[in-house]
Amino acid sequence: MIDIKFLRENPEIVKKNIQNKFQTHKLELVDEVIELDKKSRELTVKGDELRSQRNLLSKQIGNLMATGKKDEAEQIKQKVNEINQELLENEKKENEYREKVNAIMMKIPNIMHESVPIGKDDSENVEVQKYGEPTVPDYEIPYHAEIMENLCGLDLDSARRVAGNGFYYLMGDVARLHSAIITYARDFMIDKGFTYCVPPFMIRSDVVTGVMSFEEMDAMMYKIEGEDLYLIGTSEHSMIGKFKGQLLKKEELPCTMTSYSPCFRKEKGAHGIEERGVYRIHQFEKQEMIVVCEPTESYDWYDKMWQFTVELFRSLEIPVRTLECCSGDLADLKAKSVDVEAWSPRQQKYFEVGSCSNLTDAQSRRLGIRVKGEKGNYFPHTLNNTVVAPPRMLIAFLENHYHPDGSVDIPEVLWKYMGGKRKLEKRVDKKEK
């Protein structure tokens, strides 16, 4: 949500921002909200005038009653009652306009950073830099689900019987590897100075609308029937919600936290759910990082955060690249975003394994998160970034460490989390012996 004062004074900038996001259907919202805001402010002025009149008349009533002029006092009391009734009607209309203004403002996208490339969708995202040398071995790499199944680490058939498509059973060494990567990512971020947190996995609707757009909410969130609760799609939702309605002290900033959670997503839309593997699924686990900071520091933190993810993947010996998200690929609350993509030697291309976003003050405005300043309270900036999200990242891990005999190397940084194990071996079926 942007500042209504900024929109009021800079409607053309807001409209240009909407056009750059290829959301021309929202252009009319700018003029509509300006008109509603004008009427709301007129009613506010009228309300102040009515209250002033009432106060003057109330003083007259006291003076008249003190001098025994009861009839005149009763006449003025009648005028006060009429003003009170008019005030009630005025306040009702004022609240209606405010609610309409707020509802529209929730639909108008955040102002993007000037460096964001203009493009219609993710096909026009811009590569920034590669880290590590992407290689293609001279032997065939099986589909990731097949690698996992050969390691006796994946059971999709049972998951479909239990929950349907988009779910999975991880087992044995693959399940242990999954947990090892999460634990390593947790310790990696703690070593960077972030505070570890396990948040609530369900949040209320006012938190949902505070952290994401209505379009994202409809496409992602699972609603708990009969309750005002939603399953989180990422721990960022809970973590930013933690500060809802809070007045923070300046010296408390920046708040830097890394959080673990399961994540639940509908995955509605063109991509759909993957039936054979674990790339696009309804349920997964993730280590996240969030920062709440001074507005002047948010882009410094933005650069630090995505670099942490690159560093982690390189420590796991996985080549990655960064992509600058174009305007049409940015969710409405985001001012700037970069995707981290891992190399797939099987597909001979990169695929997304994480995303870092600066939402400036969009979430803090929606959630009422403020900082107590010397010259008045102000809204902090919020940022989030994926540290690691298995099982998707397991695809890159398995492919980049796969050998022709079906074994998978484990990088040194994970040995202690795998009980000293340095390699995953293909299980030989009795029929193959």
Residues 83 and 206 in one domain: no
Shared domain for 141 and 79, answered yes or no, is: no
What is the distance between the alpha carbons of residues 22 and 115, in angstroms, rounded to a whole number?
A: 17
Q: Is 366 helix (H, G, I), strand (E, B) or coil?
A: helix
Domain with 64, as residue range(s), is: 4-105
Q: What is the CATH number of the domain that holds 139?
A: 3.30.930.10
Q: Is 20 a domain residue?
A: yes
**Angle made by CA atoms 222, 223, 227, in degrees to the nearest 5:** 155
Domain count, the chain: 2
Is the whole-model pTM more than 0.85? yes
**427 pLDDT above the threshold of 80:** no
pLDDT in tens, 25-60: 999 999 999 999 999 999 999 999 999 888 888 888
Q: Are residues 208 and 286 in the same domain?
A: yes
Sign of the alpha-carbon torsion through 413, 417, 423, 426: negative
Tell me the pLDDT tens digit for each residue of 383-416. Answer: 999 999 988 899 999 999 999 999 999 999 999 9
pLDDT at residue number 268 = 63
Q: Is residue 253 assigned to a domain?
A: yes
Q: What tokens does 325 get?
A: 């998200």
Residue 112 lies in a domain: no
* Identity of residue 19: Q
The verdict on residue 339 lying in a domain is yes
Query: Does 371 share its domain with 327?
Result: yes
Are residues 163 and 280 located together in one domain of the fold?
yes
pLDDT of 431 > 60? The answer is no
**351 domain residue, yes or no:** yes
For the beta carbon of residue 138, count every other beta carbon within 10 angstroms: 6
CATH number of the domain within which 28 lies: 1.10.287.40
pLDDT digit string, tens, across residues 133-183:
999 999 999 999 999 999 999 999 999 999 998 899 999 999 999 999 999
Q: Which residues are CB-contacts of 65 (< 8 A; sequence separation ≥ 6)? A: 73
Angle at 2 between CA 288 and CA 203, to 5 degrees: 40
Predicted local distance difference test score (pLDDT) of residue 433: 41
pLDDT beyond 60 at 432: no
Say if CB 254 and CB 293 are below 8 A apart: yes
Statement to judge: residues 94 and 127 lie in one domain: no
**Does the residue 113 lie in any domain?**
no
Q: Are 125 and 339 in contact (CB under 8 A)?
A: yes
Each residue of 67-125: pLDDT tens digit?
777 778 878 888 888 889 999 999 999 999 999 999 999 999 999 999 999 999 999 99
